[in-house]
Homo-oligomer: A and B are copies of this chain.
Amino acid sequence: MEIANAVDIPVFAQHIDPCEPGSHTGAMLPETVKASGAVGTLINHSEKRMILADVETALQRASKARLATVVCTNNAAVSQSAAVLSPTMVAVEVPELIGTGRAISKVQPEVVTRTVDLIRKTNSSVHILCGAGISSGEDVSAALKLDTEGVLLASAVVCAKDPEKILFEMASAAVREK
């Protein structure tokens, strides 16, 4: 709640568990995330993979709690499988590029293109992000040119000497492409 109060931008949680309130000690409920001021949550992040049935349950639970959802995936086929479950967004990230600074949008654009194709024909209401190695405004431009609507990233900003500068560069690139 302190984070949500401290910033003006929408805050997403890193994970929710697919549980109802009850006997789930140590679990993160969608209701808790919502009450903390978050507007949405990641689901199935590469560092917090979930069982297929739990991805579906978590999406249902998040929807009831009025949380936007970003399901993270590792390739085009899994992205299509996730899109069937109607999350708000799907974010495709090639595992071997995560944290490398080598951007998916430049090094493996065909994964992004195929993901966009498969999701569009399966569930056109799902927004598409890509991630893994995104570290410059140029990488963001490349991602948007591939017909995604945004990127998912962490290390490039979190570990940057000047996070504000790199964020501004990326945001400017995004504005230019729209």
User: Please, how many angstroms separate the alpha-carbon atoms of A14 and B29 in the complex?
Assistant: 13
**Is B1 a contact of A26 with CB atoms below 8 Å?**
no
**Is B14 a contact of A42 with CB atoms below 8 Å?**
no
| Extra inter-chain contacts (8) besides given A14-B26, A49-B53, A50-B51, CB under 8 Å | A15-B25, A26-B42, A27-B47, A50-B52, A56-B75, A78-B85, A81-B81, A81-B85
Give the chain B neighbours of A73 by CB distance below 8 A. Answer: 52-53
| Chain A residues engaging chain B, CB cutoff 8 angstroms | 1-2, 14-15, 23-28, 42, 44-56, 73-75, 77-78, 80-82, 84-85, 99, 122, 154-155
Number of chain copies forming the complex: 4
A38 to chain B, nearest CB (A): 13
A59 to chain B, nearest CB (A): 9
User: Please, how many angstroms separate the alpha-carbon atoms of A78 and B23 in the complex?
Assistant: 22
A100 to chain B, nearest CB (A): 12
User: Please, how many angstroms separate the alpha-carbon atoms of A125 and B73 in the complex?
Assistant: 24
- Closest residue of chain B to A52, judged by CB? B52
**Is B52 a contact of A81 with CB atoms below 8 Å?**
yes
Give the chain B neighbours of A27 by CB distance below 8 A. Answer: 47-48
**Is A52 a contact of B47 with CB atoms below 8 Å?**
no
